A and B are shown apart, each in its own frame.
Chain A
Amino acid sequence: MAATKKLGKQTLALTNPPIIVGTSSVVGPKEGQGPLGKNFDLVLSDSLNGEKTWEKAERKMLRICCQKAIEEAGLTQENIDFMMAGDLLNQLISANFTARDLGIPFIGLYGACSTMFEGLALGSMIIDGGYANHILAAAASHYDTAERQYRFPTEMGIQRPLTAQWTVTGAGGVVLADSGRGLAVTHVTIGKVIDLGINDPNDMGSAMAPAAADTMIRHFIDTGRKPSDYDLIITGDLASVGRALTEQLVKQAGYDISKNYTDCGILIFDPSQDTHAGGSGCGCSAVVLTGYLLKEMKAGKFKRILGIGTGALLSTTSSLQGETIPGIGHAVVIEAYPLNTQ
């Protein structure tokens, strides 16, 4: 059987576009003080969230976020066919433990910080293929849990380089449905793992930019679209350094994205919040998507966006052993549907 829904090499055109029927975003206090603070559904007053450990706080945040998204969709846990979620912690403890509490058939995902878009992409394909009516896709990260796993204890006195990014404390969730009214996921471009030799774990934007650019260029080639076909092109967590590099790489391939391109890691924090290059982590693209982008789309500000979740696929072991940092980018097109005439 021919892959009739496939465009070019890596893109899928969904013929039964899944509808986004529920969204939810939960963030930590620093994110709540950021430029998008008032958009989020719930802002925690402290990063422990009433728990004894940061890990517990992270999974509680993810659980609340999933429950809120299901509630907003007007559904109950029993209505959800599959849950697809991931986080940054070893062995995906936040997502796995949340799935234990929710009792929804579960597929754990690890795409580093691209997990939200990876979940959206896979969930959309499952619904489009007729294998499910409702899918919950979610992702979470927490500054303190990520910091202790990847870098130093939080009270360690060190100077962070200017290219360093700040892991977002936040969880975002989306409920996709096979029918309904609202925004729709129309295309998916699955990215390749790309590594152009960056080995500085304090410069993830530079490590991920080539993967984001590759997926973006591939998407334009596969669909025959131009950057101007989108109201907004947004990457997950490249922050200021990665954004500048992506823009240059895409330009080299002949596409000008300077007018309508930005990054979630740049939007979520204000430069005065001293995060250096900007935000990162699974939670970064998850909460900017659910808390800001989808809400703005519903309000009519954007009609069609191209979102690219970006992930740096390193581990503390690979970094210590001197390996370079591979990156990945998964793209999803979200449209105000069926307003779209194409």
Chain B
Amino acid sequence: MVGREKEDKIIPSDQELQKIQYLRMVKTTKPKPTLLRNILGAFVFGGAICTFGQALIELYKSFGLSKVDAGAATSATLVFIAALLTGLGIYDSIAKYAGAGTIVPITGFANSVVAPALEYRREGMIFGVGQKIFSLAGPVLAFGFVTAWLVGLITYLLI
């Protein structure tokens, strides 16, 4: 039967071998990620956000705030702007080009809290917004707490 031979080609007895061959085929067929473009985008947008943040710090200091207070005011301002842009549906369009440039600064954290809050508004305030608001930022908070606790413990033991 002609069909038999063909069947043997598509389903070799060694399924693992078939998987390895397929993964190799996928690797050569898949488009390569545009790494250089992504890195450049992240550098330009991330750098711009940080430069803007520095300008804000200087501005707040010129208003007479202390260095620590100016830093806190700058964080609040950046969070506000990111939240506003998320609400207006602009943030994700910028992030498409910026990548890590808009994720790593505090603006990324604001976006990851506001986006689920908007998304789950339709499931109600308690089980929608309340329950899902930290669904993306949650891991950052959880491991942030763990790290802070560890650093605190080390500081306490050494000093």
Contacts and interface: CB of A to CB of B under 8 A. Distances in A.
Interface of A: 8, 52-53, 148, 152-163, 196-198, 203, 206, 210, 213-214, 217, 221-222, 241, 244-245, 248-249, 252-254
Contacts, number: 103
B146 interface: no
A53 B122 contact: yes
A156 B115 contact: yes
Q: Which 8 A-B pairs have the closest CB atoms?
A: A157-B95, A153-B119, A153-B115, A221-B3, A155-B115, A156-B115, A196-B22, A162-B31
A253 to B, nearest CB: 5
A248 B87 CA distance: 45
Interface string B82-108: 000011010110111011001100001
Contacts of A203: 26, 30
Nearest to A160: B96
A177 to B, nearest CB: 34
Interface residues of B, number: 42
Classify the interface of chain B: helix, strand, loop or mixed.
helix
Nearest to B87: A155
A254 B38 contact: no
A158 B29 contact: no
A157 B119 CA distance: 13
Contacts of A197: 19, 22-23
Interface in B96-135: 96, 98-99, 102-103, 108, 111-112, 114-116, 118-120, 122
15 contacts: A153-B136, A156-B92, A156-B112, A157-B111, A159-B38, A159-B95, A161-B33, A162-B33, A198-B23, A198-B26, A206-B29, A221-B6, A241-B29, A248-B25, A253-B10
A245 B26 contact: yes
Contacts of A154: 92, 115, 119
Contacts of A249: 10, 22, 25
A155 B30 contact: no
B147 interface: no
Contacts of B103: 157-158
B77 interface: no
A24 B37 CA distance: 42
Nearest to B27: A206
B92 A252 contact: no
A246 B72 CA distance: 55
A252 B10 contact: yes
B103 to A, nearest CB: 7
Contacts of B31: 162-163, 241
B102 A157 contact: yes
Contacts of A213: 10
A241 B33 CA distance: 13
B19 A155 contact: no
Nearest to A161: B33
Contacts of A153: 115-116, 118-120, 136
B34 interface: yes
Nearest to B95: A157
Contacts of B18: 196
B96 A159 contact: yes
Interface in B61-95: 86-87, 89, 91-92, 94-95
A148 B123 CA distance: 12
The residue in A152, A161, A214, A249 that gathers the most chain B C-beta atoms within 10 A of its C-beta is: A152
Interface in B6-55: 6-7, 9-11, 18-19, 22-23, 25-26, 29-34, 38
B6 A253 contact: yes
Contacts of B3: 8, 221-222
A206 B30 contact: yes
Instruction: Point out which of B6, B95, B102 has the most chain A C-beta atoms below 10 A from its C-beta.
Output: B6
